[in-house]
Amino acid sequence: MKENHSVNARRRTLAKGLGLLPLVAAAPARAARQAPRTLSFYHTHTGERLTAAYYERGAYVPDALQAVNWLLRDFRTETVHVIDPHLLDQLYALNACCGGRSFEVISGYRSPQTNAMLRHTTNGVATHSLHIEGRAIDIRLEGCDTARLHRAALAMARGGVGFYPRSDFVHLDTGRFRTWGAA
């Protein structure tokens, strides 16, 4: 009888352990969602630099997001706009793929006035640009060739991905997936 009792006890322990298996299997995915996300930027027009942990303990960090909003402001008008946190997530994933360092920002948020001015003086500026909504950014990545950066962005298949090899930058946005520019 004692042997049967110890077998049953082992079975109960095993069953409890197996019951935890889905929780243990989900732990790495949960840990990835909880892991801090940090981005570094250098704004090519203002010379400003920022390194910000914009996501920690499973949530976006309001002070870090405000710092990013300021850095990515329309530098021509000093207008600050909320930047879509999903755009930051795209940048974070892209940086992880490319092993780069700091993003060189060519253009972040654009006021409607700046966008209209650029439409009249530059080719390829959309009338309803997602830059106006804080959902687009034009970048390079320090230590990564822009053609490689472009290929990595295409492989992610998230949002709009434009490549401007003559101007040496990649456009990313959080709109529907679409692509343009030379490969």
Domain shared by 28 and 69, yes or no:
no
What digits encode the pLDDT tens for the residues 120-153?
787 767 778 999 999 999 999 999 999 999 999 9
Domain shared by 76 and 16, yes or no:
no
Mean pLDDT of the chain: 87
Domain shared by 101 and 164, yes or no:
yes
The pTM assigned to this predicted structure is 0.80
Domain shared by 30 and 46, yes or no:
no
User: Where residue 105 sits, what CATH number does that domain have?
Assistant: 3.30.1380.10
- Number of structural domains (the chain) is 2
Domain shared by 6 and 66, yes or no:
no
Domain shared by 97 and 127, yes or no:
yes
Residue 137 tokens read as 């950014």
Domain shared by 23 and 39, yes or no:
no
CA distance 77 to 111: 8
Domain shared by 29 and 94, yes or no:
no
Query: Domain containing 18: what range?
Result: 1-34
Domain shared by 66 and 156, yes or no:
yes
For the segment 20-40, the average pLDDT, to the nearest whole number, is: 65
Domain shared by 5 and 58, yes or no:
no
Beta strands in the chain, from DSSP E residues, in sequence order: 37-43, 49-56, 59-60, 103-107, 136-141, 160-164, 169-173, 178-181
The strand pair at 160-164 and 178-181 is best described as: parallel
Domain shared by 166 and 114, yes or no:
yes
Domain shared by 43 and 126, yes or no:
yes
**Rounded to a whole number, what is the largest CA-CA distance in the chain?**
90
pLDDT of 24 over the 90 cut = no
What digits encode the pLDDT tens for the residues 143-182?
999 999 999 999 999 999 999 999 999 999 999 999 999 7
Chain center to CA of 74: 19
